[in-house]
Structure formats: C-alpha cells, structure tokens
Amino acid sequence: MAEKGVTPRSADYARWYTDVVQKAELADYSPVKGCMVIRPYGYTLWENIQAALDRRFKDTGHVNAYFPLFIPMSFLQKEAEHVQGFAPELAVVTVGGGKELDEPLVVRPTSETIIGHMYSQWIRSYRDLPVLINQWGNVVRWELRTRLFLRTTEFLWQEGHTAHATEQEALEETIRMLGVYADFAINEAAIPVIQGKKSQREKFAGAVDSYTIEAMMGNGWALQSGTSHFLGQNFARAFDITFLNQNNELDHAWTTSWGLSTRMVGAIIMTHGDDQGLVLPPRLAPLQAVIVPIWRKDAEQAAVRELAQRVFALLKAAGIRAKLDDRDELSAGFKFNDWEMRGVPLRIEIGPRDVEQNAVVLARRDVPGKEGKTFGVPVDGLAAAVDAMLTTIQANLLRRATAHRDANTHTVATYDEFKQALEDRGGFIRVHWAGTGEDEDRIKEETKATIRCFPFEKPEGEGVCFYTGRRTDQVAIFARAY
C-alpha cells in the first residue's frame, strides 16, 4: 500500500526514482548486495514487455532456446576483447557438490561464448544457416554501484544470437533487430528512442560495431535501452563456427547478438513518471483501468457497488486489464492516490449520481485534476470509450516524451558552448564530430558526457566538428548517461 507521496523530482531526482520503484511496489532491495526482488506489479510489467518483444522476435523468424547458466572460465578467455571487458564483473562458482572445482565456472554475464561453442557443433553447411535463436534468462555482472532496474548485479533480459552465411546478412539482422527494439520502445513503451551506432569506445566487448536505442529520461540524462551487435567473424573464429558454403569451401559464419533487459522498466519510469508517482503506457500497464466505487450514505452503497461490478465485468469481457477496488476500509481519496502512485492509466469513478445517469467518470493519469476528467460517460458503449481513451493516453505519452526530448536537444558550435549547455540545461547535445577516441575520453573526464550514438537520422552534407574544428559528415549525440 502506497502510504505517502514521493520526493519531488525537482528536489532529488535520484530519490524520486527510488521512491517510485518502492512505493509503486515494482521492486525491493534484497539481502544480497546489488540484487533486487521484482515484485508482482513490476514483474507483470516485465511480462507485458516480454510478450510484446517475443511476438516481434517470432514474427521476424526467431525461435527461443535455453543455454547453461554456467560457462567454463576458459571459454571467456577465447575472445581477447570479450574477456577483457567482462573479467572485472564476473561472479565465479568455485565449489560444487561440496568439492573445489577443477575449472571455475563463471555465472554468465552474457552468452556469446557458450552459444558460440554450441553453434560450432550444430552448423555444418550453408543449409543450416541462418540460425536465429533468442534466449530469455538471467545474467550476472558484478556491479559496485547499483540502482534498482537500471544497474543490478543480476538482471533479467533476452539475448538474441544469430549466425549467418554472409557479412551482409549479419549486418541486416543487426539493424533489423535494432529496428524491432525501436518499434517496441516507441509503439509499446511510448519512448521516442533514437537509433544509432555506438562509438568504438562504447561498443560491446568483442563486437565489430554496436548499435543502440537511446532514450532521454525526465532529467535530461540518456539511458541506453537496448543494443544490437554486429560481431563480424570474431566469435566464429574464437569458437570455430564454420560451414561449407555453396562452393563447398569452409568458411567462418558471421554472427550477431542483441539484448534488452529489465532496465527498460527504469526507462519507462523515468520517461513518463511525475511527482505523483508512476505513469504507465496503457499498452504495457499491468492494469489499464481501475474502478473506484464511491458512496457516502449506506443507502447508496448497494447500487454503486452493483454498477461497479457491472462495469468491471464489461471491461474484462472486452479484454481490458481492469481492477475493481472494492476495499472497504479505505477512503476514495486514499485509493485515488494509491492508483496514481502505481501509474494506472485510467481511473473510473462511480458514485450515486453516476448510478442515476447509468454513466461513469473517467479520470486520466496523464492529465492531472479536473482537466483530465470526463463526466457522464454512458455505460452503454463504455468498453469502446475506455479503449479509445487508452489509445489517446498512449499517444499523448509518446507526444509528450517526444516534445521533452526535442526541447532538451541542443546543438553547439564550440567546446565552451558544449560545456555551458551541459551545465545549464543538460539533455542531448547534437554535434558534428571528427574527434578521436582519446578526444572522447578527455571530454568524458572533463564533462561526464559521452557519445551516446552516431544517429542514423542526420542532415545531409558536412559540418564543422565542435571539438576539432574539422569538417565531417558524422553527427554525434553527447549526453550524461546512466
């Protein structure tokens, strides 16, 4: 039960975030350092995310499978860049069944290595390609500073791993799956992400190139919300994934991997949430509408409850995820706050006057106060009206988040302007970029901003790099990021 409000965003954004996660009962701290407990309300949100993604994966020809949690340490070491990137974050099993193990086992931080090994057994000929497999599961990366959903030692995710006969096909797959993530983020989570390529400094350890969807949070920071990696033949070479091509020659496969995690829950919270708590996009919300019956006199109660029950039944029959809050011991005002905290998109109020009119009041979560209320909505045709309202809310959340992102995206011409803009306004800084990796490091050290991506969408022609002064057609988005 959400008893008190949350810290205002303006007072302390980080505390606001943690308050929302806990008071909306999305997640809780666990006694194990850095690990979280995903509570039923948060997990149902994750289930809805999973369903929306899994449908898209299957529509693009992928199947699910499951590979072991434990990976022999020697596997990690086969791809040099990969082990370098992940070694500091590993959790290691050294004892099994009461005995010291001969070879320590790593709890998977990601599964390229073990899956690469299996693909080398399964793939023989070009006829076996492409292999298009996804896995839903848990992974572990030892983190020093953790935040619920955003960075936890254990997290849930999906990781796609595909193998192809040609470079071209693997590249297309990498971009296709990034597009699937963007489509999901925009049309399900109402988050207007930007698609782009990562800099070499920020790419996945072992990839040739990494691609990302980047979202802007309420405080102007960036959140990397899903990544898709073109692995070239790096892992195929490390794990001997070879096949006989159509000319009967032995060739290494081209592989990709792509992942999206429970971090997406954090993205949703920080894109849409407000000082009353969580605001959920209707398409993913565990509950889309909550019905609150209201009466003062005992004589009114039976009729109000009867209508509330009827409304609940008709919404359920229409496939709307509805709940009837008929808790006796709580006031209507308390219930309003409670469901606002939980971000339910639509509240349906039913009082004695509504009973008389055979109508209800709809109150939108995304538009506070009287402005967001529609009075006298007839019970006849209510399911269609609720459905239309949910569509409106979904569209409004996306529109609002897009406006926020655009209003907080700046272009600058010089490094001084860059630093000033970051200091004054934060947000995304969109610039032409011709610097080196070392330049990138220096900017990060001096401003804490990093290249979030080289966006696919950019103007034609060249411009001047704000840092080096060189002409270039490459555009970068810088931001401070989670």
Q: Which residues bind a second copy (CB under 8 A)?
A: 28, 30-32, 35-40, 43-44, 46-47, 63-72, 75, 87-98, 104-105, 107, 114, 117-118, 121-122, 127, 133, 137-138, 140, 142-144, 153-154, 156, 329
Tell me the closest approach of the beta carbon of residue 366 to a second copy, in angstroms. Answer: 25
Closer CB to a second copy, 143 or 275, in the complex: 143
What are the Cα distances from residue 93, in Å, to 104, 146, 236, 251, 341? 6, 22, 27, 36, 40
Residues with Cβ < 8 Å from 167, sequence gap 6 or more? Answer: 232, 254
Closer CB to a second copy, 39 or 444, in the complex: 39
Q: How far apart are CA 279 and CA 287, in angstroms?
A: 11
Closer CB to a second copy, 52 or 91, in the complex: 91
Tell me the closest approach of the beta carbon of residue 243 to a second copy, in angstroms. Answer: 15
Tell me the closest approach of the beta carbon of residue 258 to a second copy, in angstroms. Answer: 17
Terminus-to-terminus CA distance in the chain, angstroms? Answer: 29
8 Å CB contact between 288 and 282: yes
Closer CB to a second copy, 26 or 397, in the complex: 26
Closer CB to a second copy, 144 or 313, in the complex: 144
Closer CB to a second copy, 114 or 429, in the complex: 114
Q: How far apart are CA 362 and CA 377, in angstroms?
A: 7
User: Strands 36-38, 27-29: parallel, antiparallel or unpaired by DSSP?
Assistant: antiparallel
> With left for phi above 0 and alpha for psi between -120 and 50, is residue 457 left, alpha or beta?
beta
For 218, the 3-state DSSP assignment is: coil
What are the Cα distances from residue 317, in Å, to 310, 311, 350, 385, 433? 11, 10, 19, 14, 55
Tell me the closest approach of the beta carbon of residue 363 to a second copy, in angstroms. Answer: 25
- The continuous run of DSSP H or E covering 317 comes out as helix 298-317
Dihedral sign for Cα atoms in the order 131, 134, 139, 141: positive
8 Å CB contact between 162 and 171: no
Tell me the closest approach of the beta carbon of residue 132 to a second copy, in angstroms. Answer: 9
- Is the peptide bond preceding residue 282 cis, with omega within 30 degrees of 0? no
Closer CB to a second copy, 77 or 219, in the complex: 77
Tell me the closest approach of the beta carbon of residue 228 to a second copy, in angstroms. Answer: 20
Tell me the closest approach of the beta carbon of residue 27 to a second copy, in angstroms. Answer: 9
